């Protein structure tokens, strides 16, 4: 098989959560263990940092990888889902996985694949682990896919665990309460491995404290040690002043991810870097600042408050759950309080769409669409539910049709916001 044929095989033959949802989710780590055993457990050959959380885990993972790379370490980065290219999931020093490796790895694991029938995600996790080993990385930053306890990535023993926050998402799999979701995310906390928690809630903090105590893991709360005293945006940069409480030092940061919500992720990253330094990992201040400022350039991260064009301004953000959408709406209200807003919206079926739609302003214009995957919430159904929330708009068969319709009626000073799903962003030709 060539590269495209290999991808077609991976997408079509292996159960894929992004396409079919919970039917692709496995309830134990058996397949991941079996796959990695069959290739010699490559994940044990380098140091790892494990990152989980409801929102912000992708941005946090990319910033940590960029910082380590700027500090001179050869750094692997595993994230999901991809937006445009499968290779976005597996990078070394920002460069996507070699196409030949994807082909060769898929071929040489066909026997074990036939035996255990892994999911697409289980397969790509093993592929990433093997690639990082063959590339002889110093570190690999590993983002969980869904949850933590039963996530395919959770066969690693990292040097540091990071949990960004807890919110409502994937309740059909992770549980219907914040405590249940936190328990799943806390499943990445390992024996004697320090853990950084970005944000907590009264319902979730005791879960983390108890789990860390049971695992003899030192726990470090970013929100109790770092406070942002100034947040603003300048073009496509976020400007952020952060007070390190224990050191009583305020540092100024420029972040290449311009969403105001990134300030919280920066605090989580700073806490993680402090813990890595305690573990004798040399991370100079210059590497810290450069990694945060140049994260998009270094790692290729896309779709986080990404300004795609001006006049009118078109912004794409992968926000797809209640907390993520709230952050997007808050920033629009902060940056553009009097500007006419146009929303190109699409969701997947396993989201609590009714609650999310209540967050959107009723004086904006709406363009309902859907990604072309089985999990997609059909545009006409979304239009119906939106109408009940007082949101009025038309339906469009493709994302680009929706964007073009918005551009036709938008004034040059208006804002067009594309959000609701990774897969909506992925189908826009503007990215």
pLDDT one-digit tens code per residue, 390-399: 999 999 999 9
Instruction: Give CA separation, 235 vs 255, 277, 317, 365, in Å.
Output: 11, 32, 16, 25
CA–CA separation, 39 and 129 (whole Å): 10
Q: Do 368 and 408 share a domain, yes or no?
A: yes
Residue 127 within any structural domain of the chain: yes
Q: With contact defined as beta carbons under 8 Å apart, do 39 and 237 qualify?
A: no
* String of DSSP letters for 138-177: SEEEEE-SS-STT-TTTT---SEEEE----S--HHHH-SS
pLDDT at 170: 62
H-only helix segments in 168-311: 171-174, 178-185, 205-214, 262-278, 285-293, 295-299
Q: Of 210, 203, 160, 170, give the one whose Cα is nearest residue 186.
A: 210
Say yes or no: 294 and 387 in one domain: no
Token duo for residue 267: 């605090």
Strands (E), 180-236: 195-197, 219-221, 226-234
Same domain, 119 and 258: yes
Pair 223, 370 in one domain: no
d(CA 110, CA 108): 6
Cα(53)–Cα(169) distance, integer angstroms: 10
Whether 124 and 49 share a structural domain: yes
pLDDT digits (tens, 9 = 90+) for 126-142: 999 999 999 999 999 99
In this structure, are 388 and 373 located in the same domain? yes
Angstrom distance (rounded) from CA 212 to CA 207: 9
Q: Which of 299, 316, 351 is the last residue of a domain?
A: 299
Residue 165 lies in a domain: yes
> Which residue has 């255990």 as its token pair?
116
pLDDT at position 375: 83
Q: Are residues 262 and 344 in the same domain?
A: no
State how many domains the chain has. Answer: 2
- What is the rounded distance in angstroms from the CA atom of residue 354 to the CA atom of residue 297? 37
Contact indicator for 343, 417 with CB cutoff of 8 Å: yes
What's residue 168's pLDDT? 83
Q: Indicate whether 323 and 398 sit together in one domain.
A: yes
Q: What is the pLDDT of residue 147?
A: 86
The residue among 274, 299, 324 that closes a domain is: 299
Question: What is the rounded distance in angstroms from the CA atom of residue 424 to the CA atom of residue 317?
Answer: 10
Q: Is residue 431 part of a domain?
A: no
- Cβ-based neighbours of 79, under 8 Å, separated by 6 or more: 58, 61, 62, 88, 89, 143
Element (H, E) at 251: strand 249-255
Which tokens belong to 332?
């629009």
Q: What pLDDT sits at residue 19?
A: 46
Is there a contact between 68 and 139 (Cβ–Cβ < 8 Å)? yes
Where is the domain boundary, 242, 264, 299?
A: 299
Successive 10-residue mean pLDDT values, the chain, 431 residues: 94 63 62 96 98 97 98 98 96 98 97 91 96 98 93 97 88 83 97 98 97 98 96 90 96 96 97 98 98 98 95 96 94 94 93 90 97 91 96 97 98 98 93 87
Residue 389 in any domain: the answer is yes
- Do the domain assignments include residue 188? yes
- Asked if residue 337 and residue 275 are part of one domain, the reply reads no
3-state secondary structure of 242: strand
- Same domain for 397 and 268: no
Residues 141 and 99 in one domain: yes
CATH number at residue 400: 3.90.190.20
Q: Which residues of 84-103 are buried (b: 16+ CB within 10 A; e: fewer)?
A: eebbbbbbbbbebbbeebbb
Domain that holds residue 332: 306-426
pLDDT of 27: 66
Show Cβ contacts of residue 50 under 8 Å, excluding neighbours closer than 6 positions. Answer: 142, 144, 153, 154, 156, 158, 160, 161, 162, 188
């Amino acid at each position: 098989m060539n590269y495209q044929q290999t991808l077609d095989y991976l997408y079509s033959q292996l159960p894929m959560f992004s396409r079919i949802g919970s039917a692709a989710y496995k309830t134990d780590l058996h397949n991941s263990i079996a796959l990695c055993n069959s290739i010699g457990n490559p994940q044990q050959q380098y140091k790892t940092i494990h990152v989980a959380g409801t929102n912000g885990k992708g941005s946090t993972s990319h910033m940590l990888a960029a910082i380590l790379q700027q500090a001179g370490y050869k750094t692997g980065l595993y994230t999901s889902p991809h937006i445009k290219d499968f290779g976005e999931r597996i990078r070394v020093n920002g460069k996507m996985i070699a196409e030949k490796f994807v082909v060769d790895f898929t071929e040489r694991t066909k026997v074990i694949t036939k035996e255990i029938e892994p999911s697409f995600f289980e397969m790509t996790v093993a592929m990433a682990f093997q690639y990082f080993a063959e590339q002889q990385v110093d570190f690999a930053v590993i983002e969980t896919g869904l949850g933590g306890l039963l996530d395919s990535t959770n066969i690693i023993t990292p040097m540091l665990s990071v949990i960004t926050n807890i919110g409502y998402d994937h309740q059909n799999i992770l549980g219907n309460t914040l405590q249940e979701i936190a328990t799943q995310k806390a499943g990445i906390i390992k024996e004697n491995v320090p853990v950084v928690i970005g944000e907590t809630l009264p319902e979730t903090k005791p879960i983390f404290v108890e789990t860390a105590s049971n695992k003899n893991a030192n726990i470090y709360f970013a929100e109790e040690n770092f406070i942002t005293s100034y947040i603003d945006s300048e073009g496509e940069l976020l400007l952020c002043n952060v007070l390190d409480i224990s050191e009583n030092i305020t540092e100024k940061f420029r972040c290449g991810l311009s969403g105001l919500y990134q300030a919280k992720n920066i605090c989580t990253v700073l806490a993680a870097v402090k813990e890595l330094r305690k573990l004798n990992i040399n991370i100079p201040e210059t590497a810290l600042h450069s990694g945060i400022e140049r994260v998009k350039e270094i790692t290729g991260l896309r779709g986080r408050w990404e300004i795609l064009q001006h006049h009118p301004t078109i912004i794409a953000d992968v926000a797809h759950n209640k907390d993520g959408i709230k952050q997007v709406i808050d920033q629009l209200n902060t940056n553009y309080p009097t500007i006419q807003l146009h929303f190109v919206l699409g969701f997947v079926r396993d989201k609590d769409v009714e609650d999310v739609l209540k967050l959107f302003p009723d004086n904006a214009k709406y363009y309902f669409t859907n990604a072309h995957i089985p999990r997609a919430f059909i545009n006409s159904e979304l239009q119906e539910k939106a109408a009940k929330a007082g949101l009025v708009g038309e339906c469009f068969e493709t994302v680009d049709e929706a964007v073009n319709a918005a551009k036709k009626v938008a004034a040059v000073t208006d804002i067009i916001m594309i959000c609701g799903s990774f897969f909506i962003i992925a189908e826009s030709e503007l990215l």
